[in-house]
Amino acid sequence: MPRAVEVRRATPTDGEAIGIVHAASWEAAYAPFFTPDFATREIASRLTRWHNRVTDETALILLATLNSRPLAFSWSTPSTERPGQAEILSFYAHPEGWGTGVAPRLMTETLNALRRTGFSRVHLWTLRDTPQSRRFYTKSGFTETGATRPRDFGDGVPLPQVEYDRPC
Give tens-digit pLDDT for 49-86: 999 999 988 899 999 999 999 999 999 999 999 999 99
- Is residue 156, in this structure, part of any structural domain at all? no
Domain count, the chain: 1
The rounded distance, in Å, linking the Cα atoms of 92 and 58 is 20
Q: Is residue 84 part of a domain?
A: yes
CATH number at residue 20: 3.40.630.30
CA of residue 11 relative to chain centroid, distance: 17
Displacement of CA 26 from its chain's centroid (Å): 10
> What's the domain range around 61?
5-122
Q: Tell me whether residue 164 is in a domain.
A: no
**Quick one: pLDDT at residue 57?**
85
- Give the rounded percent of residues in the chain with a pLDDT score beyond 70: 99
Number of helices (H) and strands (E), helices first, in the chain?
A: 5, 7
In a domain, 69, yes or no: yes
User: Rounded mean pLDDT of the chain?
Assistant: 96
41 three-class SS:
helix
Tell me, yes or no, whether 144 lies in a domain.
no
Distances (CA, A) of 69 to 5, 17, 29, 120: 9, 9, 21, 31
What lies within 8 Å, CB to CB, of 168 at 6+ separation is 86, 111, 112, 114, 115, 119, 120, 121, 122
Q: How many CB atoms lie within 10 A of CB 1?
A: 4
In the prediction, which pLDDT does 31 show?
95
Rounded to an integer, the average pLDDT of 81-102 is 96
pLDDT digits (tens, 9 = 90+) for 118-141: 999 999 999 999 999 999 999 999
Q: Does residue 139 form part of some domain?
A: no
Element (H, E) at 109: helix 102-116
pTM, entire model: 0.95
pLDDT tens digits along 11-29: 999 999 999 999 999 999 9
